[in-house]
Every structure is written in structure tokens, then in C-alpha cells.
Structure 1
Amino acid sequence: MASCCFPDILCWFQNLPSISQWKSKSLSLFICSSSSSSQSPSLNLSVTRADPVLQSSSPTIVFSINVEFSLIPVALWTSKHYKTDSRSSKLLGEETFPSLSVNFVEDVLHYNGNPCRTGNSYGLRVPKPELDSNFKEIFNLAFLTLVLLVCIYEAPMDLRSSCLNSLKNHLANCRSRNATKVLMKLLGSNLEEQWMRSINLAITNWILEIQASNHTIRTPSSLFSYSLSTFGLWKVHLYCPVIAMDTVNSTHSPPDERLLFSLNYHQLEGVIQFNYRVLKQQNWLDVVVNTDNIRCDITQLVTKALMEEKGEGAAEKHFPSRISLQLTPLVQTNILSVSVGKSSENPAREFEYEKAIEAGFEPPNSYLGIKVSAGETTTVSLKPWKFEESVHGYSANFNWFLHDSMDGREVFSSKPSRFALLNPKAWFRDRYSSAYRPFTRQGGVIFAGDEYGNGVRWKVDKGAIGRTMEWEIRGWIWLTYWPNKHKTFYSETRRLEFREVLNLTIA
């Protein structure tokens, strides 16, 4: 079995001896193997002395991720060349490590399958991290993420499975998640999206490979979400490949191969933002939380050309059909009450009722005949999205439901009728180009705070002053596929569940 405890990568780099102390041309660090047997292939990190171009040139070194079969290394990844520190007993000077971390990050970004949608197309650069208390975690995270991608794409099958399971678990632990927050803040939003698309494309390919071998796998959502609490803002970022989401319902007949390709190679990208403030009253405190922005996008993981070559195009994809969020103070000793700021809606409905009877009598010279036809039309006007707030205990719940504009049913829990699927004028046909679409043109949704009342208000006794309170946010996002332009009877709904903890200091 592969080791579940990975070595401290930065520590190994920092303690490499100078070349003059080497007894061979390279040094190696064991990462993982397919079994405990010494004959099994292993994955190693190696540093090798590179031959100088000129005799007078300073020696350089190169790092590589290798698979070793019976002591014969095969390189799966190779770094840039780095100069050694000839004035020290150590191989590398401290100033080299930020450059190495940038090398790792850039090579992760190069695995992105849809570079035209990323920040690098605008000339953004990967910034060098500072040599501070967070550097070690960033360095190790960047390297092990690179190992994950190299494993998925390059490692042999018998080594890949065991190493990937260990890497996945390691990257999902608390330390790695905290390092991810720091790294994402360093990269900025555009490079963050590219980073997550690189990872989720690899995860998608990995899951498809396992499904093809009749195994099952679930990718933990904690690997793709993180939260920030700062300056009166709570923010949660979500990234998850669609294929890793749970299937809630689907038609019995599976989709054709080309449609399946289009559906699989997308990911959910979500941003949830709440504004909060603390208001001091005479006898208590008010903690007021307002919706700032709820954004969900379904973005493709491969290029448009590949989508059209192997799939049914990028427009055949899921769309958000329900978003449910729950905010709960984890310690409720000081909570006095909770109230919401928006009444339950009692929407007006517009009806158009039309009834007609037509009759005709044939001329006398023909056989006697009467033609009678009748028609009846009823039109109901409804908003496509409905928002509801509710309270359970001291938990506040926010729900957005997408409704079928034809019959008013909730989309996430229903399936289109065969008549609707055959109707070219159904609302879900050409849904990203219609003027009445319930989505953005790219197929996502944005809910801004100006539509959703005065938020939620918790009354808190003054004994909480000076404390940091924790709020839990739990969320569920449903994505539904109904055909857009492709002719098919297939439909499905998938769901993602996440949980994050947010902090609020009562000053």
C-alpha cells in the first residue's frame, strides 16, 4: 500500500548537501509505491547534476519526478535548471525556493485543458510567495498537487491507483485546505480558476478511468471548497467537477456517448458572499447578515474544438436548478432570537383564457359534412426563480428554486414530458440565447443582494462582546440537464453538498 503520510518536501530541499558531498550523480526521496514490496515500482523525487555547457560554467541541477522499476528511473516530470550555491554547504540558497514553488504552480496551470478562458491569456504572472510562516505549507501543497496531476496523466496503472488515493486524502486534510486558502489569495481569482480547472480536469479523467474499470469513487467536496471571513464579509468558493456530484435522478436510458462527453467535461464554479455587521443596541447586539452575491457557473474543462469533436458542443450542459443555504451559529448560548427580513411571497398569477368553436357546412353538391373544432388556451405568468427564507431553531435558511415556466413545477425534482422534449419552443430549448432565459448567456446564475429583503438578524446578549463566534454554512446546489439543442429524451439532476465554518468577532 502507498504511504498515507507524505514527507516534508521543503525540508528535504533545504537539507540537500552541496554537490561536492554527493557520492553519486543524483539523490532521491521516496514519495509512494504500489505495495510494500521492494520489487514494486515507486514514485520518487530526484535531484540530478546537469552537465555544464561550458567548462567554466557553474554547475546546475534539475529536479524530476520519477518512476523507478528495479532501480531504473523513468522521468515523468522535469523542472527548470537551477544554479547551486557554491558558497554554502547546502545545495541551494534560500532565494531559490520561491522560484521553485512558482515552477510547481506554473506546471500545474499548464495542465489546464481550456487555456483560452484563463487568466494567463491576459498575461497574468504567478507571484513569488514570501519566505514567511506560510511558505512551507504553500511549497508542499504546490508540489503534491503537481504530483497528483503527474500521477493521473503519466504514472503506470499499478502505481497510479494507490498513490492517488493517498494523495487525494492528504490534499483534503485540514493543513492542506488552510494552505490552499493562502495559495489562492496569493494567486488571485483568475489564476485560482485556472488552478482549479487543471485539477478538476485531471479528477474528471481519473473518475472516468475508474468508472470504465467498473469501480466507484466519490471525490470529497471539501477538496474543492474554502471560506474566508474578513472585513464584514463571509465568502465561500466552490469548485467541483460535475462528474463528482451525486446523481439525484435521471432517466432510465443512458445518454449517447457524445452527449455524455459534453456533460462530463464541465465543472461547477460557485461564489457565495454574505455581508455582516454588528449593531449595538441598549440591551443586546444585533448580528445582521445580508446576501451580497450568489454566483454559480458551469464551465467547460476542455476546449470548444474538443467539445465539438468528441461531444455535442459546450452548450449541452447542466444548469443550476436549486440553491439551498443554511447559516447556523455553532455555539448558541448567547443567542436570544433570530428573524428574517422577507415575507413569504404570495405571487399574483396572470391568466389568459381563450375558447373558440369553428363550424363549417359543405356545399349541397357534395356529401353532407360538418367540421367542428374547439380550442382552449390558458397562460400563467410566473417568475422562473422563486426565493424563500425560513427559520429552524436558530438556523436561517435561504432557498432559490427554478420553476418550469410551462407548468410551474420545480425543475430540480421533476422531469420534462416527452411532449415538452419534442417542442422546439419549450423554454429549455436554446436556453442560453433566448431573451427570456433564466440564466446568464454563459449558463450560470447571479443572485444579488438587492432582491432579497433585509437579511437575517440574530439578537445576541452582550456577554458575547470580545468573543469570536463561529457560524456554520451548509449548502446544497442542484444542477439539472434538460436537452438544449441536442435531440434526446435524456435528463438528470445532480447535487453537491458542502460545509464551511465562518468566523465573526464581536467587538
Structure 2
Amino acid sequence: MIAMAMEDPSSSTKDERLQFSLNYQQFESVIQLRYKLNFKENWIDINVNVDNIRCNLIRLVSETLMEKQGYGSEEKHFPSRISLQLTPLLQSDILSVTVTKSTDNPAHEVGIEKTIESSFEPPKSVGLSISSTGTVLLSLKPWKFEQSVYGDTAILNWILHDTVNGREVFSSKPPKFKLCQPKSWFRNRYTRAYRPFTREGGVIFAEDEYGESICWKVREAAIGKTMEWEIKGKIWLTYWPNKRRTHHSETRFLEFNELVHLSIEN
């Protein structure tokens, strides 16, 4: 994690034990794409699907050392945004590019939960003391998938949202009033039933779970050619307090760039 760049270099913590827990983690990711060629009468459709994306963080030292010199392995970053750009470099044969769908904006489900409490306080009073309280419940979809097109480039984004205010997590800080509340979604985040991560703190996006496919319409003249494609990516990892009481939060990121070759053969 030390090798990853800080989104805001001034946000680093001076707590050496927290630094130890955050730095001695290794980020691993696998991104698998699948394509299919559909030959039409006068053109070719190149359909690309995201087969799956897997991200995980693995501690680099023993849990004993993590507890001794840090705050344990559960004080760690989590994936907060994944961005991919797919660009065909032989653009003279590209006729158009289309994307299929994005997930809806985070859906708000607002309700009121009412609780009635009663108590009996002898010997000063006779009877029951009854009080009623109301709690506003808010439910949001934690991950949102977006597709867009810029020129011949398809852009895909998986973005984690704060389930309290709907803000994008990678570019915001946790609400101060939620930092000390044990029921906040980011507190004890790896053991909750409705957590937005795996138990190990990573994420898995399976085929067709977020979005469908991207389609490039290519000239018939491309048959027999080998097309070069550029895949650029950026992954953000964010730290918000898990079990530790601290006001520190930060986001780090890494970037990658790959070239792949696709043969257009009937």
C-alpha cells in the first residue's frame, strides 16, 4: 500500500500504529473481459462484457505483529471506485460505439420506525411510564455502475456511495457525527450482514451484475486485421475508521495501462 499514491498527500496520519496497519496490506485485483464478434452484412459488431472484477486486500505480516505494532488487520483500506477505459487504437475502421445501461441513481427508501418503551418505577409512582420515539430509516444502493462514451472510448465506473448521504466515498470524508456511532455502515464493516464488501474486505462484480455490454460497430474492411486496444484503469482505495476511534480518513489510488490485440477473423 505504501507504493500507492495519495489522493490528498496532506491527509496522511501521524499515528504510527495506524500507519502500520494501513501500510502493511497488499492490494490484489483481477479484471476479466470477454468479447464476441458478430458479423453482419456490411459491418462487424464487437461486443465486450466485463466477465468479473475481483479486488482484495491481504495483510503482509502476521496478525500477532499487526496487533502489536498496529491496530490489527481490520483497520485497512477498502475499494471505493474502479474506472476502466477501453479504446480501439485503429479508429479509422470504427463506425460507432454504444453502451447498454447504467444502474439507477442510489435509491432512497425513507421510513419511520417507532418504538414504545414502558417502565415501572416503585415506590414513588403507581402505574406505567410510556414514551414513544421515532427513527428515520434510510436505505441506499451502495454501489453504482456508470457507462459513458467519449469519442471511440468506452468508460466504465463502479462507484461506492455513502449510505447516509449518498455521496461518493472516494472523494468525501465520513460524517463527523457518524464516527462514534457503532451502527454506522463503515463501522465493523466486515462482519455486517449487508456489508458492501466481502468478509475479507474486497469486492466481486460478477458478469451482468452491473451493466451489460459495450458494442463497437466496425467497418467490414477490418476483417483479417489485428486491432490494437488500449485498456486504462484506475482504482481508488479509501480508509474510514472500522473499529478504531479516529477522525482520520484517506484515499489512495493506482493506475495501470495495458495493450491487447484482437484478430478480426470470420
State if a TM-score over 0.5 links the two structures.
Answer: yes
Identity %: 61
1:344 is displaced (CA, Å) by: 5.6
Which residue is 2:118 aligned to? none
Which residue is 1:329 aligned to? 88
Which residue is 1:477 aligned to? 235
1:397 is displaced (CA, Å) by: 0.8
Larger Rg computed on CA atoms? 1
1:459 is displaced (CA, Å) by: 0.4
> Residue deviations 1:324-367, cap 9 Å, x none?
111000120100000011156255432214799xxxxxxxxxxx
Instruction: Select which of 206, 213, 234 maps to 1:455.
Output: 213
How many residue pairs are counted as aligned between the two chains?
250
Q: SS of the counterpart of 1:412?
A: helix
Aligned partners of 1:253, 1:450: CA distance in 2, in Å? Answer: 37
TM superposition score normalised by structure 2: 0.88
Which residue is 1:398 aligned to? 156
Which residue is 1:246 aligned to? 5
1:476 is displaced (CA, Å) by: 0.7
The answer on whether the counterparts of 1:250 and 1:491 sit within 8 Å (CA) in structure 2 is: no
Which residue is 1:283 aligned to? 42
1:270 is displaced (CA, Å) by: 0.6
Aligned partners of 1:312, 1:348: CA distance in 2, in Å? Answer: 35
Alpha-carbon distance change, 334 to 443 in structure 1, aligned in 2, over 3 angstroms? same
Aligned partners of 2:136, 2:246: CA distance in 1, in Å? Answer: 28
The answer on whether the counterparts of 2:106 and 2:166 sit within 8 Å (CA) in structure 1 is: no
Residue segments in structure 1 that go unaligned for 5+ positions in a row: 1-241, 357-372
Give the root-mean-square deviation of aligned CA atoms.
2.0
Residue segments in structure 2 that go unaligned for 5+ positions in a row: 116-130
Aligned partners of 1:309, 1:354: CA distance in 2, in Å? Answer: 42
> Residue deviations 1:62-114, cap 9 Å, x none?
xxxxxxxxxxxxxxxxxxxxxxxxxxxxxxxxxxxxxxxxxxxxxxxxxxxxx
> Residue deviations 1:282-313, cap 9 Å, x none?
11000000010111111111122221221111
Which residue is 1:446 aligned to? 204
Instruction: Select which of 365, 380, 389 maps to 2:147.
Output: 389
Q: Which amino acid aligns with 1:317?
A: K
Which residue is 1:24 aligned to? none
Instruction: Select which of 22, 33, 37 maps to 1:263.
Output: 22
> Residue deviations 1:437-460, cap 9 Å, x none?
100000000001121343000000
The answer on whether the counterparts of 1:251 and 1:491 sit within 8 Å (CA) in structure 2 is: no
Q: Which amino acid aligns with 2:21?
A: S
Answer yes or no: is 1:314 the counterpart of 2:73. Answer: yes
Q: SS of the counterpart of 1:243?
A: coil
Which residue is 2:175 aligned to? 417
Answer yes or no: is 1:465 the counterpart of 2:223. Answer: yes
Alpha-carbon distance change, 255 to 484 in structure 1, aligned in 2, over 3 angstroms? farther
Which residue is 1:499 aligned to? 257
Q: Which amino acid aligns with 2:153?
A: S
Q: Which amino acid aligns with 1:296?
A: C
1:409 is displaced (CA, Å) by: 1.0
Q: Indicate the structure whose relative CO is greater, using CA pairs within 8 Å and at least 6 residues apart.
A: 2
Instruction: Select which of 185, 192, 205 maps to 1:427.
Output: 185
TM superposition score normalised by structure 1: 0.47
Aligned partners of 2:70, 2:111: CA distance in 1, in Å? Answer: 41
Aligned partners of 2:208, 2:103: CA distance in 1, in Å? Answer: 17
Instruction: Select which of 35, 59, 62 maps to 1:300.
Output: 59
Alpha-carbon distance change, 475 to 464 in structure 1, aligned in 2, over 3 angstroms? same
Alpha-carbon distance change, 430 to 250 in structure 1, aligned in 2, over 3 angstroms? farther
Greater percentage in strand: 2
Q: Which amino acid aligns with 1:338?
A: V
1:378 is displaced (CA, Å) by: 3.3
Alpha-carbon distance change, 483 to 250 in structure 1, aligned in 2, over 3 angstroms? farther
Aligned partners of 1:354, 1:301: CA distance in 2, in Å? Answer: 44
